[in-house]
C-alpha cells in the first residue's frame, strides 16, 4: 500500500494552521477528518514502505490519538475563551502537537520517531504555559528541562542502535538482537523514552504539567502523548528485549505512583499520578509480551483519562479551585456522574475496558514467571483504586454548596469516559483487538 491515508493524518492538522484567521473552526474540521482517516486506515493494513510502517498494533494508537485530538478540540471550543491572538496560538500548537504524534507513530525509522517525539515537546510546552501564570511557567520550565534531558538520552540510544544495525528502518530491524551494545542501547532508551512515558524516577514533570495545563491539553498528555512514548519503548523492546530491567523499573513505578495518590491535595495531580500508574503497567505489559493487554489498557485509558480531565475542567469552572475538597458535587448530576464514571474507569473497575487490559497484563506477567512483579503490581492497583475513588467520593458525596453547573463540559467528559465502558462491553461480548 502507498500509505496515502496515513500521510494525510500528519498533513491535515498542519494544513489547518494555514487558516489562521479561522483556526478554531479549521481545527474542528481537521480533528474530525483525522478521526475519519484514522478509522479508514484499517482498510489498508499493513502499510510497509521505505518511509511508513503501520501495522494493526499501530492502528489502535492512531485511533487513540485521533479520538482524543477530536474531543480535545471540541472541548477547547467550549472551554477556552481567550483573545483572538491567544486563540490562534493555542490551536496552532494543538494541531502541531497532534500532527507530531501521528508522524511519530507512522514513520518507518527509529531516528525519525525520535524527531517526532522531540517535536511534541516543543509544541506541547507552549500549551502547558498557555495560562501564563507563574505556576504554569514554572511547570513548563521543569517540563522542558527534564524531558529534554530524557530525550537526549534517547538520542544516544538511537545512535547506538544505528552503530550496531547500520540502519534505523523499523521494518528491517524489528526482531531480537543480543549483544552488550544492544543491551546498553535498550537501557539508555528506557531512561530516555521512559522520561516521556512518565516512568519513575524521571516523572516529576508530569504532575506539575498536568496541574497547570488547560484540561484539553492534560487530556492529550495523559491520553495519547505518554502512550506514544510507550509505543516507542515497545519498538525498542522488540529490537533489544531486557525483561528483568523493564519489568522491575515499571513495577517500581506502578508502586510509587500508587502510593503517591493517597496523599494528593489536588484532583488534577491525582489523575496525573493515575496516568503514571497506568503507563507503568503498560510498560510491564510490554516486558511480558502482553500486546493485547497493552492495547486494551492504553485505548481504554486514553478515553477514560481524557474524560476525567474534561470533567476536572468543568469542576474548576464551577468551584474555582483545584483542591480535593468536600464540594457536594452530587447536587450537579452531570459533573458528579462524569467524575465518578471516569474515576471508576481509570482505576480498572469492571466492566470498564481498563479492567480487562490490566487483567490480561497481570495474567501474562504471571505466565512469564514474574511472580514478585505480579504481586507488587496487584497490591499497587488496589491502593490506586482505593485512593482515587476515596478522594472522588469525598468531592461528590460530602459537603454542600451552590455553584454554576457546567453541563456541556461535564456531559462531554461523561460521554468520552463512557467509551471505556463501551470497550469493556465489546470485550465481554467476545470482541478482541
pLDDT tens for the 433 residues of the chain, in order: 567 888 899 999 999 988 888 888 999 999 999 999 999 999 888 999 999 999 999 999 999 999 999 999 999 988 766 666 778 888 999 999 999 999 999 999 999 999 999 999 888 888 888 877 788 888 888 888 888 899 999 999 999 999 999 999 999 998 888 889 999 999 999 999 999 998 988 788 888 888 888 889 999 999 999 999 999 999 999 999 998 999 999 999 999 999 999 888 888 899 999 999 999 999 999 999 999 999 999 999 999 999 999 999 888 888 878 888 767 777 778 888 999 999 999 999 989 999 999 999 999 999 999 999 999 999 999 999 999 999 988 888 887 666 666 778 888 989 999 999 999 998 887 765 5
The answer to whether position 194 is within a domain reads no
Q: How far apart are the C-alpha atoms of 240 and 201, rounded to whole Å?
A: 22
The answer to whether position 83 is within a domain reads no
The answer to whether position 402 is within a domain reads yes
Give the Cα-Cα-Cα angle 269, 273, 278 (nearest 5 degrees): 145
* pLDDT on residue 81: 63
The answer to whether position 216 is within a domain reads no
* pLDDT on residue 124: 87
Contact between 329 and 431 (Cβ < 8 Å): no
- Residue 45's alpha-carbon distances to 36, 39, 60, 105, 433, in angstroms, are 15, 11, 12, 14, 14
Beta-carbon-side half-sphere exposure of residue 294 (alpha carbons within 13 Å)? 26
Q: How far apart are the C-alpha atoms of 188 and 185, rounded to whole Å?
A: 5
The residues, ordered by sequence, that sit 6+ positions from 257 with a Cβ below 8 Å of its Cβ are 200, 203, 273, 274, 276, 277, 280, 380, 384
Contact between 254 and 199 (Cβ < 8 Å): no
Q: How far apart are the C-alpha atoms of 304 and 271, rounded to whole Å?
A: 11
* Three cell numbers written together for 11: 498533513
* pLDDT on residue 407: 78
Q: How far apart are the C-alpha atoms of 432 and 165, rounded to whole Å?
A: 35
Q: How would you class 179 by CB atoms within 10 Å of its CB: exposed for 0-12, middle for 13-18, buried for 19 or more?
A: exposed
The total number of residues written for the chain in this structure:
433
Q: How far apart are the C-alpha atoms of 357 and 291, rounded to whole Å?
A: 10
| Domain span at 308 | 242-433
The answer to whether position 80 is within a domain reads no
The residues, ordered by sequence, that sit 6+ positions from 279 with a Cβ below 8 Å of its Cβ are 197, 198, 199, 226, 227, 229, 230
Contact between 98 and 11 (Cβ < 8 Å): no
Contact between 113 and 104 (Cβ < 8 Å): yes
Q: In which element (H, E) is residue 355 found?
A: helix 353-367
pTM for this model (two decimals): 0.93
The answer to whether position 417 is within a domain reads yes
Q: How far apart are the C-alpha atoms of 374 and 293, rounded to whole Å?
A: 14
* pLDDT on residue 177: 86
* pLDDT on residue 431: 63
Domain total in the chain: 1
- Residue 400's alpha-carbon distances to 158, 308, 310, 339, 394, in angstroms, are 54, 21, 22, 16, 11
Torsion of CA 28, 32, 34, 35, to 10 degrees: 140
Q: How far apart are the C-alpha atoms of 114 and 161, rounded to whole Å?
A: 12
* pLDDT on residue 210: 83
The answer to whether position 10 is within a domain reads no
The answer to whether position 70 is within a domain reads no
Amino acid at each position: 500500500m502507498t500509505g496515502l491515508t496515513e500521510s494525510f493524518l500528519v498533513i491535515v492538522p498542519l494544513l489547518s494552521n494555514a487558516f489562521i484567521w479561522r483556526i478554531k473552526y479549521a481545527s474542528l474540521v481537521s480533528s474530525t477528518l483525522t478521526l475519519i482517516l484514522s478509522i479508514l486506515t484499517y482498510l489498508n493494513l499493513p502499510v510497509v514502505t521505505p518511509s511508513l510502517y503501520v501495522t494493526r498494533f499501530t492502528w489502535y494508537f492512531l485511533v487513540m490519538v485521533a479520538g482524543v485530538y477530536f474531543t480535545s478540540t471540541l472541548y477547547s471550543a467550549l472551554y477556552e475563551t481567550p483573545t483572538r491572538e491567544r486563540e490562534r496560538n493555542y490551536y496552532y500548537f494543538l494541531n502541531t502537537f497532534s500532527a507530531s504524534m501521528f508522524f511519530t507513530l507512522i514513520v518507518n525509522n527509529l531516528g525519525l520517531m525520535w524527531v517526532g517525539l522531540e517535536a511534541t515537546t516543543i509544541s506541547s510546552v507552549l500549551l502547558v504555559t498557555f495560562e501564563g501564570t507563574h505556576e504554569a511557567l514554572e511547570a513548563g520550565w521543569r517540563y522542558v528541562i527534564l524531558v529534554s534531558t530524557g530525550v537526549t538520552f534517547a538520542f544516544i540510544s538511537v545512535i547506538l542502535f544505528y552503530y550496531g544495525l547500520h540502519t534505523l528502518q523499523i521494518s528491517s530491524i524489528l526482531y531480537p538482537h543480543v549483544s552488550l551494545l544492544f543491551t546498553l542501547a535498550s537501557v539508555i532508551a528506557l531512561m530516555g523514552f521512559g522520561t516521556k512515558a512518565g516512568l519513575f524516577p524521571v516523572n516529576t514533570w508530569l504532575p506539575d504539567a498536568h496541574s497547570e495545563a488547560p484540561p484539553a491539553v492534560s487530556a492529550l498528555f495523559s491520553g495519547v502523548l505518554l502512550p506514544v512514548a510507550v509505543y516507542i519503548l515497545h519498538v525498542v523492546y522488540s529490537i533489544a528485549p531486557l525483561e528483568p530491567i523493564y519489568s522491575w523499573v515499571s513495577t517500581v513505578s506502578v508502586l510509587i505512583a500508587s502510593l503517591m495518590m493517597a496523599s494528593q491535595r489536588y484532583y488534577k495531580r491525582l489523575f496525573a499520578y493515575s496516568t503514571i500508574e497506568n503507563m507503568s503497567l503498560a510498560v510491564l505489559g510490554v516486558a511480558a509480551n502482553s500486546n493485547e493487554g497493552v492495547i486494551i489498557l492504553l485505548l481504554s485509558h486514553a478515553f477514560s483519562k481524557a474524560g476525567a480531565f474534561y470533567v476536572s475542567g468543568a469542576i474548576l469552572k464551577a468551584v474555582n479551585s483545584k483542591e480535593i475538597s468536600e464540594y457536594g458535587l452530587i447536587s450537579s448530576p452531570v459533573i458528579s456522574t462524569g467524575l465518578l464514571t471516569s474515576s471508576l474507569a481509570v482505576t480498572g473497575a469492571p466492566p470498564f475496558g481498563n479492567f480487562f487490559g490490566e487483567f490480561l497484563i497481570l495474567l501474562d506477567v504471571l505466565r512469564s514467571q514474574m511472580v514478585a512483579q505480579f504481586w507488587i503490581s496487584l497490591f499497587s492497583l488496589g491502593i490506586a483504586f482505593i485512593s482515587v475513588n476515596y478522594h472522588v467520593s469525598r468531592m461528590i458525596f460530602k459537603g454542600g454548596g451552590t455553584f454554576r453547573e457546567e453541563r456541556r463540559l461535564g456531559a462531554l467528559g461523561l460521554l468520552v469516559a463512557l467509551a471505556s465502558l463501551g470497550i469493556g462491553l465489546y470485550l465481554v461480548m467476545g470482541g478482541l483487538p
